[in-house]
Amino acid sequence: MYPKLLHEGAILVADSHCAAWRTSFIDFLGALERGDIHTTQLVLMGDNFDLLFGPVAQTLRENHSSIELLNRLAKKMEIIYLEGNHDFRLDSLFPEINVISRSHQPLILSYKNERIALLHGDMKVPFGYALYTGLIRNRPILFCLNLINELFEGVIINTLSKQMKRKNHCNKIDNFESIAKRHNSASWADKCDLIIEGHYHQNRRYELDRVKYVNLGAFACNERYYVVKSSQDQTILDEVIFHKESR
């Protein structure tokens, strides 16, 4: 059963792209475990790992400590994990976490008097990209990918890791509002008051024709996360920077 409520004080973290060379997300989870940061509900908005594919063994080995840490945290708080396009097929890894696959997004939750739609992103995309995202989640394809990768000493995952290490996650997208406006035509837009989305790393807010829209900034860029609050019956996201001195 999927969760129905977004908590006051819930923490949202998007696009942390955790990897061997980018470990601030692990530090953040450690702060939650120690109680340095407090919440009853943690919402991971997808792409929280650079490469974490449930059926691909190398990605599990390389993220083993983070997987264990998240599973420990799930015993202390509710965790919702919206799968992204870098982290998917995660159900078996996180038995006590509410894992929401791309096909079940957006997740629409109630908060105070509002309905909040949460999704990783990249939903309104061209056919070619939609086909690609479907294929990379296909279990037989992932089985073959894992087999080849194990037989040839990590050739696929190591190549992908090198590409991800070179990628700039903090680019500004020109005319981003036009991308946000694609949600105006979504069949579920009338069912919610606010859309919160990751994926694009833009940290922008818009009033669309039918709904309010927030694109979250990427934790990978400056270690920002968001705390859910309300003011005058309106949902607000309080932006917080995870400073090094708080670790």
What's 118-160 look like in SS3? EECCCCCCCHHHHHHHHHHCCHHHHHHHHHHHHHCCCHHHHHH
Residues of the chain above pLDDT 70, percent? 98
pLDDT at 18: 97
pLDDT of 245 over the 70 cut = no
**Residues 34-63: pLDDT tens digits?**
999 999 999 999 999 999 999 999 999 999
- How large is the average pLDDT for residues 18-26? 96
pLDDT at 246: 47
pLDDT at 3: 87
pLDDT of 129 over the 80 cut = no
pLDDT of 125 over the 80 cut = no
pLDDT at 117: 97
- Measure Cα distances from 47 to 51, 58, 148, 203, 243 in Å: 8, 17, 24, 15, 21
Q: What secondary structure does DSSP assign to 56-98, as a single string?
A: -HHHHHHTHHHHHHHHHHTTTSEEEEE--SSEE--TTT-TTSE
Q: What is the pTM of this model?
A: 0.94
Identify the band that residue 210 occupies on the pLDDT scale cut at 50, 70 and 90: confident
| Amino acid sitting at position 139 | R
Identify the band that residue 162 occupies on the pLDDT scale cut at 50, 70 and 90: very high
* Farthest-apart Cα atoms in the chain, separation: 59
Identify the band that residue 93 occupies on the pLDDT scale cut at 50, 70 and 90: very high
**Residues 105-116: pLDDT tens digits?**
999 999 999 999
- How large is the average pLDDT for residues 144-160? 97
- How large is the average pLDDT for residues 135-149? 95
- How large is the average pLDDT for residues 5-17? 98
Domain range 11-246, CATH class: alpha beta
Least trusted range by pLDDT, from 18-32, 54-68, 178-192: 178-192
- How large is the average pLDDT for residues 145-159? 97
pLDDT at 42: 99
Domain coordinates of the chain in residue numbers?
11-246
CA distance linking residue 43 with residue 41, whole number of Å: 7
What is the helix (H) or strand (E) element at residue 165, kind and residue range?
A: helix 155-166
